Structure 1
Amino acid sequence: MRYQHKWQDIPAHKIPIENQKNLEATIRRSFECGINHIETARGYGTSEMQLGQVLPKFPREQLIIQTKVSPSKDPKEFRRKFHQSLAFLQLDYVDLLGIHGINNPETFDWAIRPGGCLDEARKFQDQGKVRFIGFSTHGPTDVITKTIETDQFDYVNLHWYYINQLNWPAIEAATRHDMGVFIISPSDKGGRLYDPPKKLVELCSPLSPIVFNDLFCLSHPEVHTLSLGASKPSDFDEHLKTIELYYRYDEILPPILERLEQEAISSLGKDWFTTWQIGLPNPEKTPNNINIPVILWLRNLAIAYDLVEYGKMRYNLLGNGGHWFPGQKADNLEQIDLSECLANSPNADKIPTFLAEADQMLGGGEVKRLSQS
């Protein structure tokens, strides 16, 4: 999604020549590196159409193509979008079709119910247009695990990396069900690691933050695939350094992990570091739908690792992320009583102050989801 020209469909003749040349060079570089798994989505604007001008130049049997289609209340809409994807990609079939965004009970129902989008995907599979079916999710761990436990999917695309390990129970569930595990955006949503703060660079030394995070993810055999998010050919170079270190992760990672943990404890205090997540309410159970867990998490990252710019990017998406990034900012706390929703937290007395601090540190403007920009 990082190399396409527009987040909206436009005619092919309006794609700038240089943008298309860069996309093709990026794909060719990936093949030179031994990377043949290309991931896109119907929701990624011109990505599929631009890839469709490149992919026919490669032997089809050497490609692993994944696209994703969002679930719809009307499965006919899901069907229409999938056929549009195939047409744009100029392919007879895709290797992997993901139901894109099973993020909450509603999208779960649209996908799983009899006659729903999963049944449509099965029809495509029977017709030879799809080899394997999975789902992609930005949802909470319980929704992800519930979807996995249906035992209807071959793989899952989810978020899990060093700074956010909440979805580990879902990965364990996927392992039990013999599913492939694909990590979404570990270098961007995993901390904007292509532009890391100096403090994080020092803490991850002698590795770069990108290589550390790649190695951390791949050191867990339950994880199979990382999305590199390449936007230009040179973006592969840093990631590829991970490969030569892979079989030494058990000696390389422990001192870095220890440094990162000790810095978080030193910066945040041991009591807060070990208890901050206990008893926090979901946005749906919080006045004004404030997303307390996410806001406190972003504050922790900003203080411990100087991930302020990352925190701003994520914090200012609150209120505009829909079910992809739910909840609201903490920008009107003086008018809100949080005591009832924080009754189960051992830090109830501190949290309102910390939320206000986070808003002051990270607030400053609305951010749109990329697909809205």
Structure 2
Amino acid sequence: MLYRRFGRTELQMPVFSCGGMRYQHSWQDLPPDTIPQKNQENLEATIRRALSLGINHIETARGYGTSEIQLGKVLPTFERSKLIVQSKVSPRANPTEFSRTVELSLSNLNLDYLDLLGFHGVNNAETLDYSIRPGGCMDAARKLKAQGKVRHIGFSTHGPTQVIVDAIESDLFDYVNIHWYYIFQDNWRAIEAAARRDMGVFIISPSNKGGNLYSPPPRLVELCKPLSPMVFNDLFCLSHPQVHTLSLGAACPSDFDEHMKVLPLLDQADELLAPILERLEKRAIATLGEHWYHTWQEGLPDLQSTPGQINIAIALWLGNLVEAFDMVEYAQSRYNLLGGASHWFPGNKADNLSQFDLTDSLKNSPHSQTIPDRLARIHEKIGGEDVKRLSQQ
């Protein structure tokens, strides 16, 4: 395993972390005695496999159902000083409720302290305000830190880049859990802001949210050769020194295997990535057109300025991935979250497009005349039954 300094926390962070949202029994809290032994054994085997590889950062959240309780049966069997344990708790309007939930996480995990406490889902102005206002959740977290129950405080986010930058520039957090990978690079500005403040940078779900790379489409497989899409994406992320660790949401012990192929390649990253990046860009330009490829994001309205709160940017982005790389399954899974995922994935699909006039909201886009038709085609191709976030299932 390779390790990177996790910003001002000074922790030596493995470049891969063991994320805790795919191996638990249930997304809902359940009595411990209802958890099947087979599932618990798989979770424990997954943790042991991670640690045998040098992946000593175990990451979970209060919102991950039985994950904390199940980890609480295995983590205390290891030397505590050798582990880096992170859990995440959503910021609340009532900071006392936030503190109680952190205490519950500690009890579930059967640990005396968290190395890393993340404010889970700082996704909009409201959750940011809950987090950093005087007398809010940050003050509560600092009290827990003074009591020795928390060592470092960060936040996770699915929010727009400006909200993330605002949270970073508060200079109250030690690290950030953020979405950023080859197919979605919008948050680079936030990563640069985090680097300026010497914050740890943890990439959320690069294999799942980064393109369902557990089951990539044949076209993407071909374009990424000689690497698998998963190895390519890991190498792309880790080739940037501002990135410290990637979360591997392992469902079983063997899920680490493909990722481990990246470690001996890091010294050759530039040489290996260059031809793949060139092929991917050429393919995208050939299918999307050069003008669209370079300018599609220009002048797009924010949700509040869009009739029906249609998430135009997300819909167009996913349409690009389908057209260029055949990423239909991934696009469907993301697009059909719109309308039901609240601030975790805000905005609506383009299913009621005919009811709205987008003329004024698109006036600053060089593609204002063609975007409505493009949205309609995208919806026809990937629109379907609403999809729930995993934690809602």
TM-score range, shorter chain: over 0.9
Identity %: 66
- The match for 2:44 among 12, 24, 32 is 24
Structure 2 residue identity aligned to 1:315: Y
The correspondence of residues 114-125 of structure 1 with structure 2, limited to 5 A, is 114-125=134-145
CA displacement 1:300-341 (0-9 Å, x = unmatched): 001100100000000000001100000000011122110000
Question: Number of paired residues?
Answer: 373
Query: Partners in 1 of 2:352 and 2:118 — Cα distance?
Result: 39
1:7 paired to 2:30: no
- 1:235 to 2:255 alignment: yes
Match for residue 53 of structure 1? Answer: 73
TM-superposition CA deviations, 1:30-59 (whole Å, max 9, x none): 011110000000010100000000001110
- What is aligned with 1:371? 391
2:235 to 200, 212, 215: 215
CA distance in 2, matches of 1:173, 1:10: 40
The whole-number CA distance in structure 1 between the counterparts of 2:233 and 2:249 is: 14
Partner of 1:108: 128
Q: What is the SS of the residue equivalent to 1:98?
A: strand
1:6 counterpart SS class: coil
Residue of 29, 40, 45 corresponding to 2:60: 40
Question: What are the ranges of 5 or more consecutive residues in structure 1 without an aligned counterpart?
Answer: none
| Paired residues for 1:1-373 under 5 Å | 1-373=21-393
Q: Distance in 2 between matches of 1:250 and 1:291?
A: 35
Amino acid at match of 1:300: N
AA aligned opposite 2:134: P
Deviations 1:79-130 (A, max 9, x none): 1110100000000001000001110000010000011001111001000001
Partner secondary structure for residue 153 of structure 1? coil
Q: Deviations over 1:329-372 (max 9, x none)?
A: 00111221100000000000110011001100111110001100
The alignment partner of 2:115 has SS state of strand
Task: Kindly state the Cα deviation for residue 285 of structure 1 after the two structures are TM-superposed.
Answer: 1.0
Q: For 1:275 and 1:169, how far apart are their aligned partners in 2?
A: 18
Structure 1 residue aligned with 2:6: none
Specify the code of the residue in structure 2 equivalent to 1:97.
L
**Hey, what's the Cα distance between the residues in 2 that align with 1:112 and 1:309?**
38
Aligned partners of 2:333, 2:144: CA distance in 1, in Å? 38
Task: Tell me the TM-score normalised to structure 2 length.
Answer: 0.94
Looking at structure 2, the residues matched to 313 and 186 of structure 1 have their Cα atoms a distance apart, in angstroms, of 15
Q: Aligned AA for 2:143?
A: K
How many angstroms apart in 2 are the aligned matches of 1:223 and 1:333? 39
CA distance in structure 1 between the partners assigned to 2:41 and 2:109 by the alignment: 17
Moved more, 327-336 or 65-74: 327-336
**TM-score, length-scaled by structure 1:** 1.00
1:347 corresponds to which letter in structure 2? H
Q: For 1:279 and 1:327, how far apart are their aligned partners in 2?
A: 18
Residues of 2 paired with 1:93 and 1:334: CA distance? 54
What amino acid does structure 1 have at the position aligned with 2:71? L
Counterpart code for 2:295: T
Q: Which structure is richer in relative contact order (CA contacts within 8 A, separation 6 or more)?
A: 2
Q: 2 CA distance for matches of 1:335 and 1:21? A: 52
Residue 76 of structure 1 deviates from its aligned partner by: 1.1
- Opposite residue 352 of structure 2, the aligned amino acid is N
Which letter maps to 1:98?
A: G
Which whole-Å CA distance do the structure 2 matches of 1:275 and 1:93 have between them?
A: 48
Report the residue type matching 1:213 in the other structure: N
What value does the CA root-mean-square deviation take over the aligned residues?
A: 0.5
CA distance in 2, matches of 1:90, 1:364: 42
Query: What secondary structure does 1:227 align onto?
Result: strand
